[in-house]
Amino acid sequence: MHTPRVAFLRSVVRLEELPDYPFPEVAFAGRSNVGKSSLLNALVLQRRLARTSATPGQTRSINLYPVNGEWVLVDLPGYGYARVARQQREEFRRLVMGYLLERKQLALACVLVDARRDPTNDDLALLEELELHHRRFAVILTKADTIAPVALQERLDQIRGLVEQCTACMDVLATSARTKLGRTHLWALIRNALDCYRTQQSASA
């Protein structure tokens, strides 16, 4: 696979600041520190495109990264980080939910869940909202390198059971930014979602 051409476009803190362009977007959402920025970097084979940190709450704005001049990767602020002031947490939540439920360019919401842990109530609430609003999504387990294959399979089975009835769920897969496990699978999923989005757009045009 060729190394994708990717750049940083802009960082926004309010939904009104999002550009109104014809490009489909693929967003990474999930609990703070789950590995969104790391997986984004691994996907496009760049080390420091999106800032990562061992301290939760690193990404505080919506960051847009155009890929191959065709579509845009979106890194979202994390939710559920207790040490961020309550008012700011609420602002992040409104920004992230507003983006995920209303953004018309959104082709796929990747909901990242730490492979080592049970999904949190915030994760479950997000999956439910996406399903209710018919927003196409996938559940992506992160940090798969940190657990044994058996435990990883158990987690995959658990999540697959959880979303079994969800018509908006495209896939559940395991990834690692460290070992690049699941990278090819994630690319295939994104291509598929972009195709679905384009087909839908041309049908409604």
Ligand X SMILES: Nc1nc2c(ncn2[C@@H]2O[C@H](COP(=O)(O)OP(=O)(O)OP(=O)(O)O)[C@@H](O)[C@H]2O)c(=O)[nH]1
Q: Which residues bind ligand X (CB under 6 A)?
A: 30, 32-38, 52-54, 56-59, 78, 142-143, 145-146, 176-178
The reply on whether position 37 binds Mg ion by CB under 5 A is yes
CA distance 53 to 72: 22
CA distance 104 to 93: 18
In the list Mg ion, ligand X, none, the entry touching 63 (Cβ below 5 to 8 angstroms by class) is none
Between 59 and 105, name the residue whose CB sits nearer to ligand X.
59
Q: How many CB atoms lie within 10 A of CB 45?
A: 14
From the CB of 81, what's the least distance to ligand X, in Å?
A: 7
- Selected from 59, 63, 142, 175, the binder of Mg ion by CB under 5 A is 59
- Selected from 29, 31, 44, 58, the binder of Mg ion by CB under 5 A is 58
DSSP 67: E
From the CB of 17, what's the least distance to ligand X, in Å?
A: 19
Q: How would you classify residue 163: left for phi > 0, otherwise alpha for psi between -120 and 50, otherwise beta? A: alpha
CA distance 40 to 36: 6
**How is residue 112 written in tokens?**
């990242």
In the list Mg ion, ligand X, none, the entry touching 53 (Cβ below 5 to 8 angstroms by class) is ligand X
CA distance 161 to 180: 25
Between 32 and 105, name the residue whose CB sits nearer to ligand X.
32
**How is residue 81 written in tokens?**
């980080």
Between 36 and 89, name the residue whose CB sits nearer to ligand X.
36
Kind plus residue range of the DSSP H or E element containing 158:
helix 149-162
Between 58 and 105, name the residue whose CB sits nearer to ligand X.
58
Residue showing the smallest CB distance to ligand X in the complex: 78
Between 26 and 163, name the residue whose CB sits nearer to Mg ion.
26
**How is residue 101 written in tokens?**
């439920």
User: Which residues contact Mg ion by CB under 5 A?
Assistant: 36-37, 58-59
